[in-house]
Structure formats: C-alpha cells, structure tokens
Amino acid sequence: MKIWIADQDREVVVEKKRNKNMYMRVREDGTLFLTVPYRTSMRSIEAFIRGNEAWIRKEDRRRLKQEMTFLDGSDGIEAKWLGRTMDVSYFLSKRNFLMVEENKLLFYVKDISEETIRKTFYKEGNKQLAAFIEERRKDWDELICRANHKPLPDITIRYMTSRWGSCTPSKSSIRISSRLIHFPLGCLDYILLHEYAHILVPNHSKAFYDIVRKFMPDYKVYSGMLK
C-alpha cells in the first residue's frame, strides 16, 4: 500500500495484532509502519494516517535533524566534528586516514565510498575521544574512585546508537559511544562523569544526580544537547 502524505509518496506497512488501538512509527526511509487490531479496515487505517499528518511531519523534521547531527563526511559535503560543521575533501591514498584542519576534514582513502569514508571518520574520531578521555578521567579517578575506595574502570569506545555511554560497576567497566565525536567536548565530559557516577549509584535516583550536579552544576546544558 502507498499513500501520499506530508509531501511524500510513502510505503505503508501494516501488521495486524491483538491491539486495542492503532500505533504508527516512521522508519528511517520514510515508510509508515503500523500495528493495528485484526479487524481494522483499510479505510480506517488510511483515515488514521491522514489524521496524524502533523505528527508525521514532526517525525520527518526530527529525522532530518538527527541526520544533520551525525554527518560523517560520507555525503561529500560536510561533517559534524566536536560540535562544528566542517567542509570535507577526499584524496586517494595507499592507506585510510583523516587529517583535521581548522575548518576542514581531509580524507585520505583507498577508495571513495560511503563505507570507507564513514569508517575512516570514526576511526580518527575514536582516537581523538580516547585522547580526551585519558586526560579527563584523571579527575574522576581521584574524586570518585580513589576517594570512595573503588577500582579504576576500564574505558572502551564503541559505536552505539541507543545510548551515549554505559557502566557495569561490578566489572569496573565504562563504555563510551563513538558518536560523541559529533558534539562539543562538554558533552563528552558530561557522559564521562555520568558513567563514573554510576560506579557509586547504579540507578538514576536523586542521589545519583546529586553527584553529577556536585561536579558539573550546568550538566543539563550538555544533557539537553544529547536528547
């Protein structure tokens, strides 16, 4: 089924379940995915979709904003690096690496494909994040771990889309998302502190946020950027 709505000709995927109500989400490619009660007619489904056009437009804007936030240079135009929009240029090379100039990212790559550009971007991004973390963790190692007789955590960087960081106190391990390279350094500082605070308080209770607020009174500025 197809439907023209919110300025697009969209595929509609319908899954019938034992729901009492209809639910809809917009997939990354703009497809509308609906779960509906078994006896729902196509006329009712179409009416439901058209009645939610304003919501669909809002979701389109949200997806576009997210795409702009996570630009990695693979579009051949620009990338988001530490909160700044940078122009990009490609050069054929015997190995893949990235050079960061003041207002530009220079990709030296074996082949100019989206996959190669993206991998090169995050490879260099991970190196930059690792260097920043190594410097910034010193305060939290001292003020949070040693001050409370906790072991120093192992910190790894990995590409995560569902969270910015995670902590496993029982294993003294912290994981940080590669995608933080797109944001200002204050966001990395906030996530790093956030995960260190979980070493002392494993939940998001008032006690947890008291720790975060103690060391970063303006943390909401950075948490807001990441929402």
pLDDT digits (tens, 9 = 90+) for 18-61: 888 999 999 878 899 999 999 999 999 999 999 999 999 888 87
Q: Are 189 and 168 in contact (CB under 8 A)?
A: no
Other C-beta atoms closer than 10 Å to the C-beta of 183 total 22
DSSP 145: I
Q: Are 180 and 132 in contact (CB under 8 A)?
A: no
Q: Which pLDDT does position 66 carry in this prediction?
A: 67
Q: How far apart are CA 193 and CA 200, in angstroms?
A: 11
**157 has a pLDDT exceeding 90:** yes
Q: Which pLDDT does position 28 carry in this prediction?
A: 75
**67 has a pLDDT exceeding 70:** no
Domains by residue range for the chain, with CATH: 2-66 (no CATH), 78-122 (no CATH), 126-225 (3.30.2010.10)
Q: How far apart are CA 182 and CA 178, in angstroms?
A: 9
Q: Which pLDDT does position 27 carry in this prediction?
A: 86
Instruction: Give me the residues paired with residue 212 across strands.
Output: none
What percentage of the chain exceeds 90 in pLDDT? 84
Question: What average pLDDT does the chain have?
Answer: 93
Q: Rg (Cα) of the chain, in Å, rounded?
A: 22
**130 has a pLDDT exceeding 90:** yes
State mean pLDDT over 92-99: 96
Q: Flag the least confident range among 64-73, 107-116, 128-137, 142-151.
A: 64-73
With a CB cutoff of 8 Å and minimum separation 6, the contacts of 20 are 37
Q: How far apart are CA 98 and CA 77, in angstroms?
A: 15
64 — pLDDT class (breaks 50, 70, 90): low
Q: How far apart are CA 184 and CA 128, in angstroms?
A: 13
Q: Which pLDDT does position 59 carry in this prediction?
A: 84
Alpha helices in 39-146 (DSSP H): 42-51, 53-69, 114-140
Q: Which pLDDT does position 19 carry in this prediction?
A: 86
| pTM, full prediction | 0.74
Distance of CA 189 to the CA centre of its chain: 16
**97 vs 21, 91, 104, CA distance in Å?**
51, 10, 14
Q: Which pLDDT does position 21 carry in this prediction?
A: 92
If we measure between CA atoms, which residue out of 172, 132, 174 comes closest to residue 152?
A: 172
Q: Which two tokens stand for residue 166?
A: 């995670």
Cα(first)–Cα(last) distance of the chain, in Å?
Answer: 33
Return the higher-pLDDT residue of 69 and 158: 158
State mean pLDDT over 189-207: 97
Q: Which pLDDT does position 15 carry in this prediction?
A: 93
State mean pLDDT over 132-152: 97
Q: How far apart are CA 124 and CA 79, in angstroms?
A: 13
Q: How far apart are CA 22 and CA 17, in angstroms?
A: 10
